[in-house]
A = this chain, B = another copy of it.
């Protein structure tokens, strides 16, 4: 049977793209996973979460197992609001929607704001999952180059001005990861943050600020875009995936009430009471700031190890910037096709994500690759970089 006859045009159009998760290589056993943007296994609070489950069931019995019922679900919202205050963001309860991770947050925003006629703007490069989400809604994705100081807002302004002049539809939405960007690790300067917001007002678009890595800073860093958002144009997306555990699937959207109420309209997974209540007990039981200090210290050490290894083992023509937070280092490898190279790297026992997956135009990413220092052990990070360095030297 030809099921595609049943698909509406927008769905047929989405299905013409690469299938979801195409960037995820199938890894040989024992491979050093510099591809994995996962938290370090030893930093996942397995036992505290186990205790949280015990305590929650002791206190609430069946309540967190129903659709509604656990008072913890509201407490979790307040706890996240409290976390946001640490990011200098004040909020009201109705401005916050808890989602199944940042991915669902981005998807829900896209669902509410995009159709096939809509234009969306992203950074080049950008988070591959976000790109996949936007491609499910529209073909019209424009990308604006970034450098080590974030998205190049002067280029953005020029592009928007020119599109307006030419009578083209300008984006209604721009997606940015201003702090400790995935994949580049770079952080947008305060000047550019302010310029970006001014452009949002001037050209009338909304912003998704993806701050999934924002709390994992290794030095002082700029305030979130949301803190400068006087005209209420920023949908701030956060997550506990990097600072607690991705498998708990807890993220959120903070934004203008009216917009949030429309977005929540389309959230049809009926939340996740068991996970929410568990997380709430966990957060209540720990000192979150102390935990963050440990995470920052630990990931800083890992970053340092990776940068040191890169200096030691990479040929001179390989370049990178040192990230001040987050999980990633972004490598430029001159004329090497990083997608073609991956097979050999996996044979040598090290994985990475080829640059092409992070770009609207895949060829723009041909000579880049993303390394993650978050998941592998310190010794593995060094050994993995060495393997990759040797491979690059050998084929040049």
Contacts and interface: CB of A to CB of B under 8 A. Distances in A.
Interface of A: 1, 3-4, 6-11, 14-15, 19-20, 38-39, 41-42, 44, 46-47, 49-50, 53-54, 57, 61-62, 64-67, 69-70, 99-101, 103-104, 106-107, 111-115, 117-118, 129, 133, 136, 172, 206, 231-233, 245-249, 256, 258-259, 261-262, 264-266, 268-275, 277
Most buried by B among A50, A62, A264: A62
A258 B247 CA distance: 28
Contacts of A47: 57
Nearest to A9: B115
Nearest to A15: B262
B62 A57 contact: no
Contact of A269 (B11, B100, B258): B100
A64 B100 contact: no
A48 B99 CA distance: 27
A6 B104 contact: no
- Chain copies in complex: 2
A118 B248 CA distance: 36
B3 A114 contact: no
B46 A8 contact: no
A49 B262 CA distance: 35
A74 to B, nearest CB: 14
Contacts of A271: 249
* 5 closest Cβ pairs, A-B complex: A8-B115, A100-B269, A107-B268, A65-B245, A247-B273
Contacts of A7: 112-113, 262
6 contacts: A38-B67, A47-B57, A50-B57, A103-B268, A269-B269, A274-B275
Given A64-B247, A269-B249, A8 B114 contact: yes
A13 to B, nearest CB: 11
Given A10-B115, A249-B272, A264 B3 contact: no
A118 B8 contact: yes
Given A6-B113, A8-B113, A19-B265, 4 more contacts: A4-B262, A11-B111, A42-B62, A107-B269
A65 B49 contact: yes
B20 A264 contact: yes
A269 B104 contact: yes
Contacts of A15: 262, 265
A49 B272 CA distance: 15
Given A8-B117, A103-B269, A269-B269, A258 B3 contact: yes
B1 A231 contact: yes
A259 B15 CA distance: 11
Contact of A66 (B64, B66, B245): B245
A3 B67 contact: no
A160 to B, nearest CB: 16
Contacts of A249: 269-274
B100 A20 contact: no
Given A103-B268, A272-B249, A112 B262 contact: no
A206 B64 CA distance: 35
Nearest to A261: B19
Given A46-B57, A101-B269, A11 B262 contact: yes
Contacts of A275: 272, 274-275
Nearest to A42: B62
A48 B112 CA distance: 39
